[in-house]
Amino acid sequence: MIYFDNAATTIMHKEVVEAMRPYWSELYGNPSSLYDFAIKSRESVEKSRKRIADVINAKPEEIYFTSGGTESDNWAIYSAANAINIKGNHIITTVIEHPAVLNTCRSLTKKGYRVSYIPVDKYGVISLEDLENAITDDTVLISVMFANNEIGTIEPIDKIAQIAHKYGIAFHTDAVQAFCQIPIDVKKLKIDMLSLSGHKFNGPKGVGALYIRQGLPIEPFMNGGSQEKKKRAGTTNVPSIVGMGEAAILSDSRLDYKVKTEIELRDYFIKRLSDEIADIRINGDIDNRLPGNVNVSFKNTDGESLLVILDENGICASAGSACSSLKKGNSHVLEAICVPDEFISGSIRFTLSENNTKDEIDFTIKVLKDSVEKLRVN
């Protein structure tokens, strides 16, 4: 199998599996209990909290564990809107956000909130001028993803945060695709809230975190017990939190190598595609993109049929976000960057890891060259 769908999920590192193992059958104490057996679990959870914090230059007490990126996005948007709505009821986001953000914003419109959706240019980059022009006296939150999950474009987060703070507005970023893929410093970038998900950086599924800057007014997302400083109730998922902390520290320690390797593989892949297959377009910013992202559209080609052929050859890729893979219709991201009709249905996302090889890319190029011309509608 050739796995080119790392934006959907990643393999767990062996070290992560081993780190989690004792907390299923040996150190299974509930960290909310007071006896020594449970305290060992609580200490492990706090160790992971510090590890996540260290990766983004945050304080451990600013990290709250969740069930994943979707919950983190929902919490950031719902809670910030509710906590700050004494000032107003206006939220700003972009047209290319993940459904976890877009659908949360849409649900808030039913409760009287107004949402402005900022367009992007042909590379997927937000217009800072449009962003600033959208701000009103009652704007309470700006939410812009760090890097797009489909086309890999990295947004100018530092400049967006500057604009938000210039007007006293809270700033949230969905960094699910960026965390442990590129360097992030929440203090330097002046980020107020940041969402992440464990399975995107070789950790377990079903666990994530939300960074909330200390001092930011935020409401609890789940009511119940006193877990997560009474902000997110529910029995602590100790094995997964331990695994996510281990994955974060491992990924961060290899980040320079990971970025360098993935950029080399990505650029090699894009060059071969561009040189050897006619009538294609690379979607997203060609330079300012996630290291492992290759989103390519083949003119007059059925993308679903191409994915089937890739799968038959042992190659895993996708047509876009895994969260939208069962949904019919064109990608809202590709529509937002104005991919022409004759290209949009033939779009494939390949997302690489440092474990992929040029030999795997060479084989994939061969399969694509053999298949695309057969599938093309003249």
Positions marked catalytic: 323
Helices 358-375 and 255-276, packing angle to 10 deg: 30
Q: How far apart are CA 165 and CA 168, in angstroms?
A: 5
Contact 206, 283 (CB under 8 A): no
- Element holding 272 (H helix, E strand): helix 255-276
Q: How many CA atoms does the CB half-sphere of 302 hold within 13 Å?
A: 8
Q: Give the angle subtended at the CA of 268 by the CAs of 265 and 273, to the nearest 5°.
A: 125
The residues near 235 (Cβ < 8 Å, ≥ 6 apart) are 30, 32, 225, 227
The DSSP 8-state label assigned to residue 11 in this structure reads P
In 3D space, the residue among 357, 329, 348 whose CA is nearest the CA of residue 280 turns out to be 348
Which token pair is 91? Answer: 């939220």
Contact 303, 312 (CB under 8 A): no
Q: How far apart are CA 146 and CA 200, in angstroms?
A: 14
